[in-house]
């Protein structure tokens, strides 16, 4: 269900060691089903159904197919993406649900990588704007222990526990988000099926508060008045309907209306 990537652009940075430690921590400290995938070759671990390595030998299409299949079988999959900066790794990273970049000095790199991942999602037609709106940032920076001046990541027991807890907590959050998203996908589908001229009444019948349904209907009409397509306006404003209080929704509508009125007066 949940795919976690561990990565560093620096060679021999200890990503494999760290990701294996977290994999074992999750198996020991939670009741979740956990799997491990390594892009490179592991020297000591044997290949099994839940522990796979030499992933780099597969084509990108095969890698994505295998990962999607495993996401249906396991609660958490740890993906050790350490292999220096390679084209294969960068093509696969956008499908992870959460990315951990190892090393505080790579904060700028992690930010750029996150931008690439988000840019990739723009062109994925299955990723709707309201889903993207709910999910937020997906990149964390893992900092090496203070006082350690060595190449590589040498996780202490405390580091392991902190990072393991972080992954577990993020999994729980992700699970709740996905459940929330599925509920709202169904709601959005029902709203889209309401005839345009009956939007206000349809929203009210779906259980939306009278005042919220009324202002949302007016907001859609405002967007249409400035030339936006009805379906596009529904998709763009849907996050406000489910995430914004009535007063905030009114304020946003009023500010947008004021800008339009001001623009027309100036012109």
pLDDT the model gives residue 205:
93
Confidence grade of residue 105 (pLDDT, cut at 50, 70, 90): low
Kindly report, residue by residue over 115-158, the tens digit of the pLDDT. Answer: 655 555 444 443 333 333 333 334 444 433 333 333 334 556 66
Confidence grade of residue 199 (pLDDT, cut at 50, 70, 90): very high
CA distance 168 to 95: 19
Per the listing, tokens 């900092």 go with 143
Radius of gyration of the chain (CA): 23
Angle at 105 between CA 103 and CA 109, to 5 degrees: 90
Per the listing, tokens 């990149």 go with 139
Please report the sign of the dihedral spanned by the C-alpha atoms of residue 42, residue 141, residue 117, residue 230: positive
Domains of the chain: 2-183 (3.40.50.300), 195-266 (no CATH)
Kindly report, residue by residue over 219-238, the tens digit of the pLDDT. Answer: 999 999 888 899 989 988 88
pLDDT the model gives residue 167:
87
Confidence grade of residue 25 (pLDDT, cut at 50, 70, 90): very high
Give the DSSP H/E element, type plus range, for residue 40: none
* Most confident option among 6-10, 56-60, 226-230: 226-230
CA distance 86 to 95: 16
Q: What is the DSSP string of 164-183?
A: HHHHHHHHHHHHHHHHHHHH
Cβ-Cβ contacts under 8 Å for 213 (sequence gap 6 or more): 200, 203, 204
pLDDT the model gives residue 129:
38
Kindly report, residue by residue over 129-139, the tens digit of the pLDDT. Answer: 333 333 333 44
Q: What is residue 109's three-state secondary structure? A: helix
pLDDT the model gives residue 169:
86
Ranges assigned E (strand) in 138-227:
139-142
**Stretch 177-188: mean pLDDT, rounded?**
80
CA distance 14 to 224: 54
């Amino acid at each position: 269900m949940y795919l976690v990537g561990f990565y560093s652009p620096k060679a021999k940075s200890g990503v494999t060691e760290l990701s294996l430690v977290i994999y074992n921590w999750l198996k020991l400290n939670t009741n979740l089903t956990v799997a491990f995938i390594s892009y490179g070759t592991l020297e000591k671990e044997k290949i099994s159904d839940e522990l796979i390595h030499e992933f780099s030998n597969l084509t990108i299409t095969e890698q994505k197919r295998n990962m999607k299949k495993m996401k249906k079988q396991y609660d958490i999959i740890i993906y050790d993406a350490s292999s220096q900066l390679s084209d294969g790794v960068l093509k696969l990273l956008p499908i992870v649900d959460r990315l951990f970049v190892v090393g505080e000095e790579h904060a700028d790199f992690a930010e750029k990588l996150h931008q690439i991942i988000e840019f990739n999602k723009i062109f994925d037609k299955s990723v709707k704007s309201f889903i993207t709106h709910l999910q937020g940032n997906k990149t964390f920076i893992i900092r090496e222990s203070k006082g350690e001046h060595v190449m590589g990541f040498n996780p202490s027991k405390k580091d392991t526990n902190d990072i393991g807890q972080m992954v577990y907590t993020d999994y729980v959050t992700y699970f709740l988000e996905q459940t929330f998203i599925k509920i709202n996908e169904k709601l959005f589908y029902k709203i889209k099926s309401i005839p345009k001229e009956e939007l206000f009444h349809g929203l009210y019948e779906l259980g939306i508060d009278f005042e919220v349904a009324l202002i949302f209907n007016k907001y859609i009409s405002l967007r249409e008045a400035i030339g936006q397509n009805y379906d596009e306006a529904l998709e763009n404003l849907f996050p406000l309907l489910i995430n914004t209080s009535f007063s905030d929704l009114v304020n946003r509508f009023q500010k947008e209306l004021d800008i339009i009125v001001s623009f027309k007066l100036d012109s």
